[in-house]
Amino acid sequence: MNIILFEKLQEFNEIIRDDYRSKHIVNVLRLKEGETFKAGVINGAKGVATIEKIDSTFITFSFVKEESFAAPFPLTLLVGQIRPICMKRILRESASFGISKLIAVGTDLGERSYRDAKLYTEGEYKSYLLDGAMQSGETTVPQFELCESVDQVLKKEKDYKTKLVFDNLKGAKRVADLKAIEDPVIVAIGSERGFSDRERLLFAQNGYQVLSLGSRILRTETACCSALALLLSKMAPM
């Protein structure tokens, strides 16, 4: 963690010792009373926390705001549902990049049972988004949405100036070939078996440009990280 995030912060705050953030402060950072750590409010300001007291029950600290909220990049990642263990990596890394929204979608060729995983039904996904934000040192946590199908997403998600879908089709352009990227941006990446021909047609009918990351077949989580890095480097300084 490069910052420790909270739902809200006041002049004086307490964290119970069983909280994972307390364990990080004591066991990883090895901080003592009077020492400081970077802290912030989820999707809010960040600053410096000073430890006032550590006992067997709580860590008590004060907080001084230093910086205002840094807005997320105007980029939405639409990704086909994959195995939960792999989706956890996508959630974490996407949040680290500072995107504004992530949509996990059921695809024609994807495994439908993934949508019933505890990652979604019990809200575990939130902790992975939060972990990614804390890794980045920023307070931005992306919005998250779970959708049944590509059809459903395309009906709802229309207000984008740049619409992109990554596919390893021959002849597809690369990110370097794009002259400009107008925001907001939505980028689609398929699940393990990619998008079906039916879904490819839907993307085309809805104005999506096809891009390629090369001829090699990448894991979905690798493709997501690669695509986000390339796009964000053209959209704004990272």
Q: For residue 237, what pLDDT is reported?
A: 53
Q: For residue 40, what pLDDT is reported?
A: 95
Are 91 and 129 in contact by the 8 Å Cβ rule? The answer is: yes
Mind listing the pLDDT tens digit for each residue in 87-130? 999 999 999 999 999 999 999 999 988 989 999 999 999 999 99
- Token pair of 95, please? 């949040």
Mind listing the pLDDT tens digit for each residue in 211-230? 999 888 899 999 999 999 99
- Both 44 and 126 in one domain: the answer is no
CB atoms within 10 A of CB 143: 13
- Token pair of 205, please? 């009918």
- Both 105 and 184 in one domain: the answer is yes
Letter for the amino acid at 22? S
Q: For residue 238, what pLDDT is reported?
A: 45
| Residue 12 predicted with pLDDT over 90 | no
Are 175 and 81 in contact by the 8 Å Cβ rule? The answer is: no
Q: For residue 236, what pLDDT is reported?
A: 67
Report angle CA 176, 145, 127 to the nearest 5 degrees.
95
* Mean pLDDT computed over every residue of the chain: 93
The alpha carbon torsion through 186, 187, 189, 195 (nearest 10 deg) reads 70
Packing angle of the helix pair 220-235, 84-97 (nearest 10 deg): 10
Mind listing the pLDDT tens digit for each residue in 121-165? 999 999 999 999 999 999 999 999 999 999 999 998 888 999 999
- Both 121 and 43 in one domain: the answer is no
Q: For residue 68, what pLDDT is reported?
A: 81
- Both 97 and 136 in one domain: the answer is yes
- Both 26 and 134 in one domain: the answer is no
- Token pair of 20, please? 């994972």
The CATH number given to whatever domain includes residue 8 is 2.40.240.20
Are 146 and 14 in contact by the 8 Å Cβ rule? The answer is: no
- Both 33 and 81 in one domain: the answer is no
- Both 222 and 130 in one domain: the answer is yes
Name beta bridge partners: 199. Answer: none
Number of structural domains the chain divides into: 2
Domain span at residue 93 reads: 73-235
Domain final position from 67, 94, 122:
67
Mind listing the pLDDT tens digit for each residue in 191-210? 988 999 999 999 999 999 99
- Both 151 and 49 in one domain: the answer is no
- Both 52 and 81 in one domain: the answer is no
Letter for the amino acid at 209? Q
The CATH number given to whatever domain includes residue 81 is 3.40.1280.10
- Both 110 and 219 in one domain: the answer is yes
- Both 120 and 184 in one domain: the answer is yes
- Both 185 and 92 in one domain: the answer is yes
Among candidate residues 220, 181, 189, the one with its CA nearest the CA of residue 82? 220
Are 129 and 42 in contact by the 8 Å Cβ rule? The answer is: no
Contacts of 127 (CB under 8 A, 6+ apart): none
Rounded CA separation 198/149 (Å): 12
